[in-house]
Structure 1
Amino acid sequence: MGYAPGMTTPAPKPLALRRRLPFALVTLATAARRDTTQALAGSDLGIFQHAVLCVLAESGPLIQKDAAARLGIDSGDMVAYVDDLLASGSVDKQRDPADRRRQILEITPKGRRVLAKAERDLDASTEETFGALSPEEREVLYGLLVRVLAQRDPEGWPDEDQPPAS
């Protein structure tokens, strides 16, 4: 049976692409992002809102600009993410008494509950995304990825990071 317009036939990716590590990583990253987005939807969070809650939960109150820099988020985009979190009651924002131009962000008790649910949902999503790998293989993959990331961004991926729980 030949090709007909409008007909899609599942077929392997071209061999030249399948042999390229970057193509495999981009393809996996696309699937992982889709799975992560779906998992976070149950908590009414996007990927970046989740990241903001994570940085605030770990660091405590932070100046909004510093939180954006730590996450590698454009400060203009950060405003939209924070606005969403403020509207949901997951984050509080106060003026910095030392510099009224700066905003200090803090996760709220509701934000901690939302984050805890999101983390549980992400754990389940990780199982779905990486189900083809054993927990040991996931740790090896994670370690290799972090080593590459640390070479590119040593400040963002310091040596003391521990493998994720499987």
Structure 2
Amino acid sequence: MSETPEVPETPEMPEVADLPDRLRGLPSRLLALTSARADRVVSERLAAEDARKWHYAALASLAEYGPTSQAGLSRRTGIYRSDLVAVMNELEAQGHVARTPDPADRRRNVVTITSQGRQHLRRLDKILADAQDELMAPLSVAERSLLVSLLERMLAR
């Protein structure tokens, strides 16, 4: 008789004070832990609206830049093309985007956000703003702004 393998538990997020000094002194470790916490909070909040972070990224890009090909949307959002197909299928099934043949090249589709998608995006904006407030609660408004600026600078390098 074979035993069912145990599913490993998801480790709890360590408290900063519990980290060994060597780890607490590593910005890369602190960024990774903060990122994991942020991802969990955002994912949980979006799931309550039947959405995922890639849904938000696609809708935000379409709202800001307008209709584009799936390849263009992939470049703009950082979503792998193979993953983007599933995201587009989900968003289209929910009525948030429309895909139509590109008149200039019938082999590709142009993706457009629908009015229902814009309404959904506004709801997600509110949900994410609340999540950001939760994550950034220990920081002042000036510190939040500085953190965002520093992270943008690190990513741009």
Q: TM-score, normalised by structure 2?
A: 0.87
Match of 2:87 among 67, 81, 92: 81
Q: Which runs of 5+ in 1 are unaligned?
A: 1-7, 152-166
Counterpart in the other structure of 2:126: 120
Match of 1:142 in 2: 148
Partner of 1:158: none
1:12-23 to 2 correspondence within 5 Å? 12-23=18-29
- The alignment status of 1:51 with 2:57, answered yes or no, reads yes
String of CA shifts for 1:129-156, please: whole Å, max 9, x gaps. 11000111100100111111112xxxxx
**SS of residue in 1 equivalent to 2:125:** helix
Structure 2 residue identity aligned to 1:107: I
Q: How does 1:147-162 map to 2 (within 5 A)?
A: 147-151=153-157
Partner of 1:95: 101
- Structure 2 gaps of 5+ residues are 1-11
2-side partners of 1:35 and 1:126: how far apart? 9
Following TM superposition, by how much is the alpha carbon of 1:42 offset from its aligned partner in structure 2, in angstroms?
Answer: 3.1
Q: CA deviation at 1:125?
A: 0.7
Q: 2:56 & 2:120 partners in 1: Cα distance?
A: 9
5 Å-filtered alignment, 1:22-41, equals: 22-41=28-47
Structure 2: distance between partners of 1:91 and 1:43:
16
1:42 is matched with which residue: 29, 37, 48? 48
Residue 42 of structure 1 contacts residue 118 of structure 1 at CA under 8 Å; is this kept in 2? Answer: no
**Structure 2 residue identity aligned to 1:139:** S
Determine the structure 1 residue equivalent to 2:8. none
Is 1:66 equivalent to 2:69 in the alignment? no
What is the root-mean-square deviation in Å for CA atoms of aligned residues? 1.5
Corresponding residue to 1:105 among 106, 111, 125: 111
TM-score, scaled relative to structure 1: 0.83
Q: Distance in 2 between matches of 1:115 and 1:138?
A: 23
Moved over 6 A (4+): none
Aligned length: 143
Percent of aligned positions that are identical = 36
For 1:137, what is the secondary structure of its paired residue?
helix
Partner of residue 133 from structure 1, selected from 139, 152, 157: 139
